[in-house]
Structure 1
Amino acid sequence: MKKTVEILADQTALIARSLDLILTKLDNAIKQQGQFTLALAGGSTPKPLYEAIATQKLPWDKIHVFWGDERYVPPDHPDSNERMARLAWLDQVNIPTTNIHAVPTLDNDPAVSAAKYEQHLQTFFSSKPGEFPALDVVLLGMGDDAHTASLFPHTEALQVRDRLITVGNKDGNPRITFTYPFINAAKSVIFLVAGANKRPALAQVFADSADDLAYPCRLIKPQSELYWLLDAAAGAELSA
């Protein structure tokens, strides 16, 4: 694994760097394989990144968008990660609807929805059960409890190693999430982390030893490339 840690001056610089990195990965992937696969993160930090991507002139028909996790709410719900990404980016550009691979959330049973999304991914990548296909880029954030996607500390989702998708749990509310082995199969994983409130968690994630189940970001160890893009507020103690 190639691990890169970059501390950017502020959130504006963080977004500019992440945009540049993604556009480079996108260009290379399309040249090499004719398409680019990207899994989106939720939360507030990546929203300006999505707005920036929407202003680019890109071969939208060659870009496939997935979600690393989703709250178990309808897609028009204010808490929906899909809704945020659509408003900020996807509804603003001419991307084919078949290239938007949203998480199903309307089955009244998150386990059923998780199984559907897994099947959809296996079909798209022509992979077999037990295989972990490689997305080109998985974007991740980190909560101040060191969770990422919907992999929360000491939850059952952290034990799932034989599937692509599972059900996460946040204070009793189900979510659909990538499993950490599926994230780790990606060609590039990019963390976007902003804010001084993230420093205590980052210290544990970057520590030589700590409890992986208490700090789930420690489980993210992709086979190829791992980028930690931090703003100065988040990364201040790491740069000392």
Structure 2
Amino acid sequence: MKKVEVLSDKPALIERALQLTIAKMTNAIAERGVCTIALSGGSTPKPLYEAIAAQHLPWEKIHVFWGDERYVPPNHPDSNQLMARQAWLNRVNIPGENIHPIPTNEADPAVAARKYEEHLQAFFQTSGDEFPKFDIILLGMGSDGHTASLFPHTEALKARGLIAVGNKQEEPRITFTVPLINHARCVVFVVAGADKKAALAQVFAPDADDFNYPSRLIQPQGELWWLLDQSAGEELQVSTAAES
């Protein structure tokens, strides 16, 4: 199920993303006693995380993961983990064991990727070809159509395990794979900015190259939400109105 909403501006986008995320978190806890959420990086979700931090939620029932991470130390300014901790996690009473950062301390990123994959399998109690099923995966999209650290025409797009080593201009990153994302109960893209319009047109086109625009590959078994601000999604409103 794909739903598309175009909001008037970025504050409205963040407010809608907050409303939807809290609803999905609350529903997961009501149904299964726990919520598993994977976060995105970049600048767009920071105000969303700040808004979540202001909510009164049963933090002990929420487990936080990351969909991708730059291969830098946790205290590095470019770290997705650091941004989420400063905007959200350090501000609430969430147990330390409920925070599941991607390791970036191995000499070989492939070793770190394997360790995170093993951690996910242990937490979700999955094995073999079985995939964990996250309650919510938050994603952004770059102006090139990438999402998480799944960049155009990179080997990570073909990975069939849980975790892969992504690559941007020879800089390694650790990322969820397409199949792992697609097993989620709910995937929410939060996209802002006029620089995304050209890529969005290709992502939503009936026919386009998935490996040119990796966000096209995200077709989860559960719900798929695209939340866009006006500057990003204005040209999609007519074509997507029926889907939303």
TM-score bracket for the superposition, by shorter chain length: over 0.9
8 Å CA contact retained: 1:152, 1:168: yes
Correspondence for 2:19: 20
Give the Å deviation of 1:129: 2.4
Summarize the alignment of residues 212-227 of structure 1 with structure 2, pairs less than 5 Å apart: 212-227=210-225
8 Å CA contact retained: 1:184, 1:221: yes
Correspondence for 1:86: 85
Q: State how far apart, in whole Å, the 1-side matches of 2:213 and 2:129 are.
A: 26
Give the Å deviation of 1:131: 1.1
8 Å CA contact retained: 1:122, 1:129: no
The amino acid of 1:58's aligned partner reads L
Q: State how far apart, in whole Å, the 2-side matches of 1:202 and 1:140 are.
A: 14
Q: State how far apart, in whole Å, the 2-side matches of 1:129 and 1:113 are.
A: 19
TM-score (ref. length: structure 1): 0.98
Correspondence for 2:176: 178
Correspondence for 1:230: 228
Match of 2:193 among 192, 195, 219: 195
Structure 1: which 5+ runs fail to align?
A: none
8 Å CA contact retained: 1:164, 1:182: yes
Task: Count the aligned residue pairs.
Answer: 238
Summarize the alignment of residues 136-215 of structure 1 with structure 2, pairs less than 5 Å apart: 136-161=135-160, 163-215=161-213
The amino acid of 1:92's aligned partner reads R
Q: CA RMSD in A?
A: 0.5
Correspondence for 1:44: 43
The amino acid of 1:65's aligned partner reads V
Give the Å deviation of 1:183: 0.1
Structure 1 runs (4+) deviating above 4 angstroms are none
Structure 2: which 5+ runs fail to align?
A: 239-244
Q: State how far apart, in whole Å, the 1-side matches of 2:80 and 2:132 are.
A: 23
TM-score (ref. length: structure 2): 0.97
Q: State how far apart, in whole Å, the 2-side matches of 1:10 and 1:209 are.
A: 29
Give the Å deviation of 1:14: 0.5
The amino acid of 1:143's aligned partner reads G
Give the Å deviation of 1:24: 0.7
The amino acid of 1:7's aligned partner reads V
Identity across matched positions, percent = 66
Summarize the alignment of residues 63-82 of structure 1 with structure 2, pairs less than 5 Å apart: 63-82=62-81
Alpha-carbon deviations, 1:97-149, whole Å to 9, x = none? Answer: 00000000001110000000000000000000221111000000000000000
SS of residue matched to 1:204: helix
Correspondence for 2:242: none
SS of residue matched to 1:149: coil
The amino acid of 1:49's aligned partner reads L
Q: State how far apart, in whole Å, the 2-side matches of 1:198 and 1:227 are.
A: 16
Correspondence for 1:97: 96
